[in-house]
Amino acid sequence: MKGGRLLGVPRGIAAAIAGLVALNAVLLAAGTGLSSRASCAGKTCIGLVFDVGGLGDKSFNDAAYRGLLRAEKELGVTVRFIEPGDGSDRESALRQLASQGYDLVFGVGFIFTDDMRKLAGEFPETRFACLDFSIAPGDPPPPDNLTGLRFREHEGSFLVGAIAGLVSKSKVVGFIGGMDVPLIRKFEAGYRAGVKKVCPSCRVLGAYAGTEPKAFADPLTGKELATAQYGRGADIIYHASGKTGAGVFTAAEQRGKLAIGVDSDQFDEAPCCVLTSMVKKVDVAVFEAIRQLIEGELEGGVRELGLAEDGVAFVYDEHNRDRIPPEVVAKVRALGKEIIAGKIKVPDR
């Protein structure tokens, strides 16, 4: 594992992002932007449709957005993003970008999987990329113009689980997921395995905010679930729940407990209480897909990023050194190396 600080949204850039969000909303409302395939002539046009929770979730969506902005700045591509109003808007948003001649269209989240399979067949000249692409045993491979980007979240979750097991004083820790689906179960399975690896006597509490996509944008339920787990003795809770995690942080602050962030470095969301974060380098995946498109290297199929590919990790920096002893970090990094070497098999369910 490549240790060291893993960046979330850079400090001080939040206002700039908010301004860009507002500007993009105005442009979309006014109907501006690329309106025909000819508009993309001589340009590399990249479109992105956000997941539930949208921009400003300080987690998964924001990580994808950072990759998009980096590509705009460093690679000179033309970019546009859309925030769908509800589930029925996802397919139409993707279709809008594809029909306007965008070279590569991203869908941010597993919920886009079926829509992207469909549209990749309808627009064979457009490249599509789906983050957290969902594929089950027996499913056909994605079309040649669709790249499914997946992460071994269970590996990163194992490491933050080990941190929780080693740091917990009560020997009771919690997990709160957003939507109860196999993807989020991967987070929980890895986390539980990491806790038990270092603390066999520790107890792990688990709960989910719901079974619909809105479970990723329900801070009130997140707070209720976290308050209940803290009340049952948990002193650390790991969430994998998008905006619902804001409620977990609120409960941690009110109860004087700790929480573990997800997808991005979430320290700024609750400086009082964030022990660490399990980072999925979604921004890197987005940027690299765009770079490969430009260089003619982007291929269809499924790609997975885990510890070996430096696609997942945990945050350890100046903000949490006083909360995580050096010997804990050393032990957890050693566990990461064992995972990479194949000596530890992390469960994903």
146-166 per-position pLDDT tens digit: 999 999 999 999 999 999 999
pLDDT at 9: 35
Residue ranges making up the domain that contains 139: 14-151+282-305
Look up the CATH number of the domain holding residue 53.
3.40.50.2300
For residues 29 and 117, membership in a common domain is answered with yes
**147 vs 164: CA distance, rounded Å:** 34
For residues 142 and 175, membership in a common domain is answered with no
- Encoding tokens for residue 151? 């992460």
**264 vs 246: CA distance, rounded Å:** 13
DSSP code of 232? T
Residue 57 lies in a domain: yes
For residues 196 and 323, membership in a common domain is answered with yes
For residues 65 and 158, membership in a common domain is answered with no
Residue 267 lies in a domain: yes
For residues 201 and 134, membership in a common domain is answered with no
Strand partners, 49: 82, 107
Alpha helix positions (H), the chain: 14-30, 60-75, 87-99, 113-122, 153-167, 182-198, 219-231, 245-255, 282-294, 326-340
For residues 100 and 191, membership in a common domain is answered with no
Residue 177 lies in a domain: yes
**281 vs 264: CA distance, rounded Å:** 8
Following CA atoms 267, 272, 275, 277 in sequence, which dihedral angle do they give, to the nearest 10 degrees?
-20
For residues 211 and 332, membership in a common domain is answered with yes
pLDDT at 41: 64
**107 vs 128: CA distance, rounded Å:** 8
Residue 24 lies in a domain: yes
**139 vs 150: CA distance, rounded Å:** 15
Check if the beta carbon of residue 217 is closer than 8 Å to that of residue 244.
Answer: yes
For residues 54 and 73, membership in a common domain is answered with yes
Q: With a cut of 50, which residues of the chain have pLDDT below it?
A: 1-38
pLDDT at 166: 98
pLDDT at 50: 93
For residues 112 and 244, membership in a common domain is answered with no
For residues 235 and 255, membership in a common domain is answered with yes
For residues 170 and 252, membership in a common domain is answered with yes
Contacts for 192 with CB less than 8 Å, ≥ 6 apart: 161, 175, 204, 206
For residues 134 and 119, membership in a common domain is answered with yes
Check if the beta carbon of residue 339 is closer than 8 Å to that of residue 158.
Answer: yes
Q: What are phi and psi of 234, to 5 degrees?
A: -65, 135
Number of domains into which the chain is organized: 2
Residue 348 lies in a domain: no
Percent of the chain's residues with pLDDT above 90: 81
Residue 346 lies in a domain: no
The structure tokens 């499924």 sit at: 302
- Encoding tokens for residue 135? 């594929």
Residue 8 lies in a domain: no
Residue 6 lies in a domain: no
